[in-house]
């Protein structure tokens, strides 16, 4: 709202009431013009009719120079005099700050400079204009005791007309400081006026920081005059203060925020800054990142603000873990040099700020096209290659990778993902849970028939249904449930116990080797091996498509690969045991011709395979196979937790369980340290008493480990420290150490673990909806990509579609290479020349793939949508800021406008009085002439 708009709301009575209030008078007090002394009259004539009584309220420490001659002792009432002095002192401290902390610079100013600075500070436009025009000796760059020149005082008090008058002067100093001050206070019109100054004709002064421009007087570098950090540029400050209009003006003039180098950068510039002042270097980095992470700069400087904000949030999250000093703060520290316009945020808060910006843009979408533009990014190039929107979702994948949970869990994003999830199955989305369970059962029972139908007709209606993400999820879940059923069925013959005891051997015929019967694979184990091979093939394809680094970052992939590797190791060991037993059976069949093997003496290596289980070596391959197989079965059943996020009830529980596992791993570091300390200490204490104790506890390292471990669960006895000899000192030390161990472990550490688990669970529970939707989206997204239509083990068999695509890729590869060679021959380029012009050729190929709109420099559809969304975001931010502004600032601006208007009215009054005096003089002269005649 401009000055005119605000002042039109006031009546003349209100104006004069405000003026009387600023004078320290009431409306019913009479004017004291008739009682003014000669000094006040002289001052009033020199200052456009401004009486000295008004200046008493704004009198500053420059009074010590003897310039002001008004005597406060003219006040009749001493109480009023003391009240006026206290009010004067309070205003002096509020406006100018504690003067005793600064150098007494005002005494060196002349009376003319004092009057000039006062007129600039209080918006006395007539005096400023008069002194600039009529005083050739005036130093416009003079400063007060706080190091502020007239331009800074005018900008700080939002006097636009005074600022414009000063900017017309040549050799004006500290224009940069005035610009930074105007930006920090949010005076848009003043900032615009300063930016129109000829010194900003080149963008160098906007892009370089004050510390890089120390060769001129554009900024102040003395201790008193410097308000801002030397690494702060105008665009960085505008971004910090969230001034959208200022950021836009600076960007149009070529100002940009340079992204800081990598934290571990060893270039000459970074090395020199780090060596010179490491603190200033770190401060300049975080100031730059604060500007880059500002919503004002993100929305106005980037063609794709969503992508920029996501990548910047990840970079800031990494820096939070590297620069620990800027990681976490309980309170925001205000920067006094920036006048409370923003706070010094740490990297983690800046990362959250970028994530909130992305969520805010997504929240402003009004139709499906806008949501797809944000979730997919610019898809024009990909769609030309025949891909679909469902195969992209690049921004969602990036948000999941960087854990922008609020963005992924946003209703707009979830609605779009849910539509893709039930693609080609629109009717199933509205069905009840019972109907969906029935569909799962039908798919599980008819999975072989569905796989055969998809092999021969992948493009049919059945193929489209099976390619929908929901059906792929159901098929894979059904396949894995069948796999688990096979594991259970494989052990069903031993549910009620085994018929063959460990010390008994049972064979089908007398000459049969016992181990041949025990190592033979059953049909269920063969089916399990087929399923394992199919799942391993799927994992290998996923590893090839995603790359090793991305594959390992997903812990479920590590669990799957580990589980399958253990299965393969178990079956491999079992297969080697079967081979050895088969060789022993062949030896018996070829060289032993008896009816019963118990009647002959076999070689030791052959006889070993006839032994019962109790005589097997601990390193026997079959025993190793059985142990590995048991571990793999446990991991297989734990894999069920992968599909739990699909359900709203079990999803948060699965997330809490995963967080609990992380807490346990953190806790194990401290636990192992304490456990090892007591285990070694107790072993050293009792190692000399082997056989001389009530029980063998602590006499060996193994016994010490067992005793301390099971004592956590209350399964160890106090007698573990009792000796048979009368060595009370050793026994008492054992009692003390054992008691301290139990108190430390059971009372302290275990309760600490419980508290950690409870805290993690409470965090998940407080934001359960967001956590569950984020986990569900990760599960959904794994089925959105093309491929993986058939689950294991059906994925082992290559379909005609995959065979055709493989042949097509090979053909396209050869055709592309032949076309490139032909183009090189036509252009007459040899091999060396083509290498030199590699960049030019790549640009030609890129330009050929662009659309017609891009060639004509017209914005793409994605750019148009993002521009529309950013415009909404900026408008919403401005409205929110206007609603949140404090009324005190508006009142201060109104008072300043009233003060400036007062000077203008008094100037008009003075001019009218002078004109009236001239007319009276002329009239008197004419009357005198008439009287003489």
The predicted-structure confidence for 773-826, as pLDDT tens digits, reads as follows: 999 999 999 888 887 888 888 888 776 666 676 777 777 777 766 666 555 545
Whether the ω angle into residue 793 lies within 30 degrees of 0, i.e. cis, is: yes
The predicted-structure confidence for 661-679, as pLDDT tens digits, reads as follows: 888 888 888 889 999 999 9
The predicted-structure confidence for 340-355, as pLDDT tens digits, reads as follows: 333 335 888 999 999 9
The Cα–Cα gap between 197 and 186 comes to 18
* Of 16 and 829, more confident: 829
Report H helices in 523-650. Answer: 523-546, 548-553, 555-591, 604-607, 621-638
Strand 343-344 and strand 333-334: the pairing is antiparallel
Once rounded to an integer, what is the mean pLDDT over residues 292-311? Answer: 93
State yes or no: pLDDT of 485 exceeds 50. yes
CB–CB of 237/184 below 8 Å?
yes
Once rounded to an integer, what is the mean pLDDT over residues 418-428? Answer: 84
* Of 339 and 424, more confident: 424
- Per DSSP, the three-state class of 854 is helix
Q: Which of 530, 610, 521 lies closest to 564, judged by CA?
A: 530
Q: Which of 213, 183, 179 lies closest to 197, judged by CA?
A: 179
pLDDT for position 682: 92
* Of 890 and 518, more confident: 518
897-928 burial: b if 16+ Cβ within 10 Å, else e: bbbbbbbebbbeebeeeeeeeeeeeeeeeeee
State yes or no: pLDDT of 650 exceeds 90. no
Band of pLDDT at residue 858, cut at 50, 70 and 90:
confident
State yes or no: pLDDT of 881 exceeds 80. no
Once rounded to an integer, what is the mean pLDDT over residues 430-452? Answer: 85
Helix, strand, coil share of the chain (percent; to 5): 70, 0, 30
* Mean pLDDT lowest among 155-164, 323-332, 693-702, 866-875: 323-332
**What is the Cα Rg of the chain in Å?**
43
pLDDT for position 895: 64
The predicted-structure confidence for 254-283, as pLDDT tens digits, reads as follows: 889 989 988 888 888 888 888 888 888 888
CB–CB of 38/70 below 8 Å?
no
Residue 810's contacts (CB-CB under 8 Å, 6 or more residues apart) are none
State yes or no: pLDDT of 94 exceeds 50. no
CA distances to 146, 414, 460, 655, 802 from 389, in Å = 61, 15, 21, 29, 21
Q: Residue 231 CA to chain centroid, in angstroms?
A: 24
CB–CB of 626/494 below 8 Å?
no
Query: What is the number of alpha carbons within 13 Å of residue 59 lying toward its C-beta?
Result: 24
The Cα–Cα gap between 249 and 254 comes to 9
CB–CB of 179/254 below 8 Å?
no
Band of pLDDT at residue 442, cut at 50, 70 and 90:
confident
The two tokens of residue 751 are 């309760």
Once rounded to an integer, what is the mean pLDDT over residues 222-249? Answer: 82
Residue-level length of the chain: 933
Q: Which of 507, 545, 499 lies closest to 782, judged by CA?
A: 545
State yes or no: pLDDT of 49 exceeds 70. no
853-891 burial: b if 16+ Cβ within 10 Å, else e: eeeeeeebebbebbeebbebbbeebeeeeeeeeeeeeee
The Cα–Cα gap between 743 and 736 comes to 11
The Cα–Cα gap between 307 and 846 comes to 21
pLDDT for position 488: 93
* Mean pLDDT lowest among 161-175, 357-371, 727-741, 902-916: 902-916
Q: Is 920 left (phi over 0), alpha (psi -120 to 50) or beta?
A: alpha
CA distances to 326, 414, 537 from 368, in Å = 40, 12, 37
- Per DSSP, the three-state class of 695 is coil
pLDDT for position 357: 95
The Cα–Cα gap between 201 and 894 comes to 33
Q: Largest Cα–Cα distance of the chain, in whole Å?
A: 174
Residue 553's contacts (CB-CB under 8 Å, 6 or more residues apart) are none
Q: Which of 869, 859, 885, 865 lies closest to 298, judged by CA?
A: 869
State yes or no: pLDDT of 600 exceeds 50. yes
The Cα–Cα gap between 783 and 421 comes to 9
pLDDT for position 46: 46
Between 469-490 and 621-638, two packed helices, what is the crossing angle to 10 degrees? 140
pLDDT for position 396: 92
Backbone angles phi, psi at 691, to 5 degrees: 85, -5
State yes or no: pLDDT of 312 exceeds 90. yes
State the CB neighbour count (10 A cutoff) for residue 275.
9
Band of pLDDT at residue 496, cut at 50, 70 and 90:
confident
pLDDT for position 9: 39
pLDDT for position 659: 83
pLDDT for position 548: 86
Q: Where are the beta strands (DSSP E) in 234-290?
A: none
559-595 burial: b if 16+ Cβ within 10 Å, else e: bbbebbebbbbbbebbeebbebbbebbebbeeeeeee
CB–CB of 422/816 below 8 Å?
no
* Of 462 and 570, more confident: 570
* Of 856 and 687, more confident: 687
DSSP string over 751-813: HHHHHHHHHHHHHHHHTHHHHHHHHHHHHHHTTTSS---SPTTGGGSPPHHHHHHHHHHHHHH
Which residues are registered as beta bridge partners of 723?
A: 693
CB–CB of 211/231 below 8 Å?
yes
pLDDT for position 930: 77
pLDDT for position 891: 59
Band of pLDDT at residue 374, cut at 50, 70 and 90:
very high
State yes or no: pLDDT of 528 exceeds 90. yes
The two tokens of residue 829 are 């380029």
State yes or no: pLDDT of 325 exceeds 80. no
State the CB neighbour count (10 A cutoff) for residue 755.
11
State the CB neighbour count (10 A cutoff) for residue 672.
11
- Per DSSP, the three-state class of 523 is helix
Band of pLDDT at residue 852, cut at 50, 70 and 90:
very low
* Mean pLDDT lowest among 362-371, 638-647, 736-745, 852-861: 852-861
Between 469-490 and 433-445, two packed helices, what is the crossing angle to 10 degrees? 60
The two tokens of residue 351 are 């990362």
Once rounded to an integer, what is the mean pLDDT over residues 66-94? Answer: 41
Q: For residue 902, what is the enclosing H or E element?
A: helix 887-932
The Cα–Cα gap between 671 and 681 comes to 15
* Of 531 and 912, more confident: 531
The Cα–Cα gap between 862 and 380 comes to 8
Which of 468-472, 597-601, 652-656, 840-844 is the most confident on average? Answer: 468-472
The two tokens of residue 886 are 């404090």
Q: Which of 561, 558, 570, 559 lies closest to 487, judged by CA?
A: 570
pLDDT for position 896: 63
pLDDT for position 338: 38
Once rounded to an integer, what is the mean pLDDT over residues 290-298? Answer: 93
Mean of per-residue pLDDT scores for the chain: 77
pLDDT for position 541: 86
CA distances to 49, 340, 455, 819, 852 from 254, in Å = 46, 27, 59, 43, 28
């Amino acid at each position: 709202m401009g000055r005119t708009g605000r002042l039109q709301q006031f009546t003349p009575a209100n104006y004069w009431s405000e003026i009387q209030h600023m004078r320290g008078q009431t409306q019913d007090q009479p004017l004291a013009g008739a009682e003014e002394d000669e000094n006040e009259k002289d001052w009033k004539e020199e200052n456009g009719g401004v009486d000295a009584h008004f200046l008493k309220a704004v009198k500053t420490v420059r009074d010590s120079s003897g310039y002001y001659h008004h005597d406060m002792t003219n006040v009749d009432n001493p109480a009023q005099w003391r009240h006026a002095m206290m009010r004067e002192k309070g205003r002096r401290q509020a406006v100018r700050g504690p003067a005793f902390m600064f150098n007494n610079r005002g005494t060196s100013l002349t009376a003319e400079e004092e009057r000039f600075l006062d007129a600039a500070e209080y918006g006395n436009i007539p005096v400023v204009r008069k002194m600039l025009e009529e005083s050739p000796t005036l130093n416009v760059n003079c400063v007060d005791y706080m190091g502020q020149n007239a331009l800074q005082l005018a900008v700080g008090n939002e006097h636009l007309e005074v600022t414009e008058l000063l900017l017309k002067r040549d050799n004006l100093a500290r224009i940069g400081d005035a610009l930074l001050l105007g930006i920090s206070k949010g005076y848009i019109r003043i900032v615009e006026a300063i930016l129109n100054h000829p010194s900003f004709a080149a963008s160098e002064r906007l892009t370089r920081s004050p510390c890089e421009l120390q060769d001129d007087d554009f900024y102040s570098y003395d201790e008193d005059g410097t308000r801002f950090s030397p690494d702060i540029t105008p665009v960085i400050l505008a971004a910090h203060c969230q001034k959208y209009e200022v950021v836009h003006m600076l960007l149009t003039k070529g100002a940009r925020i340079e992204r800081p180098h990598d934290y571990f950068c060893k270039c000459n510039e970074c090395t020199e800054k780090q060596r010179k002042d490491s603190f200033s270097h770190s401060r300049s980095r975080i100031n730059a990142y604060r500007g880059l992470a500002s919503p004002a700069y993100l929305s106005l400087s980037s063609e794709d603000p969503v992508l920029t904000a996501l990548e910047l949030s990840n970079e800031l999250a990494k820096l939070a873990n590297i620069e620990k000093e800027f990681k976490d703060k309980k309170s925001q520290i205000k920067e006094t040099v920036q006048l409370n316009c923003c706070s010094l945020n740490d990297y983690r808060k800046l990362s959250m700020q970028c994530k909130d910006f992305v969520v805010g843009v997504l929240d402003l979408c009004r139709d499906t096209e806008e949501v797809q533009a944000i979730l997919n990014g610019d898809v024009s190039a990909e769609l030309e290659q025949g891909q679909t929107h469902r195969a992209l979702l690049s921004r969602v994948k990036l948000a999941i990778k960087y854990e922008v949970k609020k963005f992924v869990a946003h209703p707009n994003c979830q609605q779009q993902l849910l539509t893709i999830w039930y693609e080609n199955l629109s009717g199933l989305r509205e069905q009840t849970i019972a109907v969906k369970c029935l569909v799962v059962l039908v798919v599980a029972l008819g999975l072989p028939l569905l796989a055969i139908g998809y092999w021969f007709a992948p493009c049919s209606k059945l193929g489209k249904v099976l390619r929908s993400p929901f059906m792929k999820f159901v098929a894979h879940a059904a396949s894995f449930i069948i796999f688990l059923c096979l594991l259970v069925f494989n052990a069903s013959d031993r549910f009620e116990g085994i018929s063959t005891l460990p010390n008994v051997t049972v064979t089908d015929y007398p000459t049969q080797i016992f181990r041949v019967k025990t190592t033979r694979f059953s049909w269920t184990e063969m089916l399990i091996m087929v399923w394992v091979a199919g799942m391993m093939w799927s994992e290998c394809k996923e590893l090839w498509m995603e790359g090793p680094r991305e594959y390992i970052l997903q812990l479920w992939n590590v669990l799957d690969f580990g589980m399958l590797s253990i299965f393969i190791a178990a079956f491999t060991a079992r297969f080697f045991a079967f081979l050895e037993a088969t060789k022993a059976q062949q030896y018996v069949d070829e060289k032993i011709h008896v009816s019963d093997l118990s009647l002959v003496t076999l070689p030791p290596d052959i006889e070993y395979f006839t032994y019962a289980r109790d005589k097997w070596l601990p390193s026997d391959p079959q025993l190793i196979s059985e142990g590995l197989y048991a571990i793999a079965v446990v991991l297989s059943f734990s894999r069920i937790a992968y599909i739990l996020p699909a359900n709203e009830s079990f999803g948060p529980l699965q997330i809490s369980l995963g967080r609990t596992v992380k807490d346990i791993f953190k806790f194990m570091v401290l636990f192992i340290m304490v456990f090892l300390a007591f285990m070694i200490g107790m072993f050293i204490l009792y190692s000399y008493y082997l056989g001389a104790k009530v029980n063998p506890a602590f006499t060996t390292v193994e016994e010490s480990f067992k005793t301390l471990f099971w004592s956590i669960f209350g399964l160890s006895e106090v007698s573990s420290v009792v000796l048979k000899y009368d060595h009370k000192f050793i026994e008492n030390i054992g009692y003390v150490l054992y008691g301290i161990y139990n108190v430390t472990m059971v009372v302290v550490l275990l309760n600490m673990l419980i508290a950690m688990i409870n805290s993690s669970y409470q965090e998940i529970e407080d934001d359960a909806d967001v956590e569950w939707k984020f986990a569900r989206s990760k599960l959904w997204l794994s089925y959105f990509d093309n491929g993986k239509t058939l689950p294991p083990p059906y994925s082992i068999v290559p379909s005609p579609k995959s065979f055709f695509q493989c042949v097509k890729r090979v053909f396209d590869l050869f055709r592309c290479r032949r076309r490139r060679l032909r183009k090189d021959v036509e252009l007459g380029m040899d091999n060396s020349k083509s290498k030199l012009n590699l960049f030019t050729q790549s640009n030609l190929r890129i330009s050929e793939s662009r659309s017609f709109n891009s060639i004509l420099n017209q914005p793409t559809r994605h750019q148009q949508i993002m521009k529309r969304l950013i415009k909404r975001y900026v408008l919403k931010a401005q409205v929110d800021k206007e609603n949140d502004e404090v009324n005190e600032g508006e009142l201060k601006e109104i008072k300043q406008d009233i003060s400036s208007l007062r000077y203008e009215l008094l100037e008009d009054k003075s001019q009218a009085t002078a004109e009236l005096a001239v007319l009276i003089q002329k009239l008197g002269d004419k009357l005198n002439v008439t009287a003489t005649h």
